[in-house]
Structure 1
């Protein structure tokens, strides 16, 4: 069983997928840092607030002794928009990578068609003619 698992784990496609997964996770962190550190503050200037702090408060909370708001119910749409921007950036970059790889791939030349021989009717006609000569 261990041998079978080793053969399965060492297949080329599985290793490629694992490498792509690790690179994708690292790329996601870069995109999140870009969105959180550059895009969100710029969009925050437009909305006159921090982009991550945008929310729709459904129920106001009450401040406790330490000043922490307790019991607030709100929809954090700023986080959602930030994650949506992250997704769009990652999807666009992946699209561009796949497009570049497809361009650099050799275009496969179709195999030449096999030479066409005589049809069945032509062969039968030849046989008939040969038999008729005898």
Structure 2
């Protein structure tokens, strides 16, 4: 059982997934900070500091705080837009790397020998 667990836990896919989760959590904190500390205040300045979280509807003794839902949706949209823009930016950098021309492959020793043989055979045909 230990061997099976070790084979499973140390497979490349499982380790890649674990690394992805850790990096994703750290990236999530960065995006949250960007949204909360940069984007939301800028939007707040533009729209006059409007905050929806205080909106509520009181019916009898009950209080329906629909403003929290609106604020959460706005926060989600800002976070999703930030992630989208960041991924697009990374995609541009990746395209530039892919567009670089690759160096022509160096022929192997066998290919060089076969090329020489071919050239010699062509030369013999032309001479005869």
Shorter-chain TM-score tier: 0.5 to 0.7
Q: 1:46 maps to what in 2?
A: 46
Secondary structure at the aligned position of 1:72 is classed as: strand
The question of whether the paired residues in 2 share the 8 Å contact of 1:57 and 1:72 is answered with no
Structure number, greater radius of gyration: 1
Aligned residues: 99
The question of whether the paired residues in 2 share the 8 Å contact of 1:59 and 1:72 is answered with yes
TM-score of the two chains, using structure 2 as the length reference = 0.60
Where structure 2 has 5 or more consecutive residues not aligned to the other structure, the ranges are 103-128
- How much does 1:58 deviate? 4.7
The question of whether the paired residues in 1 share the 8 Å contact of 2:31 and 2:79 is answered with yes
The question of whether the paired residues in 2 share the 8 Å contact of 1:28 and 1:90 is answered with no
The structure 2 residue matched to 1:57, chosen from 34, 55, 58, is 55
Where structure 1 has 5 or more consecutive residues not aligned to the other structure, the ranges are 63-69, 108-134
Q: 2:79 maps to what in 1?
A: 86
- How much does 1:56 deviate? 7.6
User: Of Structure 1 and Structure 2, which has the larger fraction of its residues in helix?
Assistant: 2
Counterpart CA distance in 1 for 2:5 and 2:63 is 50
Report the RMSD for the aligned CA atoms in angstroms.
Answer: 3.0
TM-score of the two chains, using structure 1 as the length reference = 0.57
Counterpart CA distance in 1 for 2:25 and 2:75 is 17
Counterpart CA distance in 1 for 2:91 and 2:5 is 30
Higher relative contact order (CA 8 A, sep 6+): 1
Secondary structure at the aligned position of 2:55 is classed as: strand
Counterpart CA distance in 2 for 1:7 and 1:87 is 37
Counterpart CA distance in 2 for 1:61 and 1:36 is 32
